[in-house]
């Protein structure tokens, strides 16, 4: 009888730990992705900030001013 109680306690503890682990693991979500460079530059350009979009492209890619300007104007 005592052995059955001990096994029951161990089984309940094991099930509880498994449920806790599943609940904790299920709550994790990957961080939201940042929009890509083209999408951010396009958004700046569409709001009238083409010069800021060019600076953004130059800062993240190392492009020359002329290349970044062509890239932004093709968006």
- Per residue in 17-51, pLDDT (tens digit) is 988 887 777 766 667 777 899 999 999 999 999 99
pTM above 0.85, yes or no: no
Domain limits at 20?
A: 2-27+36-74
pLDDT digits over 42-63, tens only? 999 999 999 999 999 999 999 9
Q: Helix 65-74 crosses helix 50-61 at what angle (to 10 degrees)?
A: 120
DSSP secondary structure of 30-67: PPPPPPPHHHHHHHHHHTT-HHHHHHHHHHHH---HHH
Number of domains in the chain: 1
pLDDT at 34: 78
pLDDT at 28: 66
């Amino acid at each position: 009888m005592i052995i059955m109680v001990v096994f029951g306690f161990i089984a309940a503890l094991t099930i509880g730990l498994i449920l806790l682990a599943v609940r904790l693991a299920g709550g994790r979500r990957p961080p939201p992705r940042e929009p890509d460079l083209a999408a951010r530059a396009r958004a700046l350009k569409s709001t009238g900030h083409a010069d800021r979009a060019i600076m953004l492209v130059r800062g993240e890619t190392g492009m020359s001013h002329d290349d970044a300007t062509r890239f932004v104007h093709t968006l």
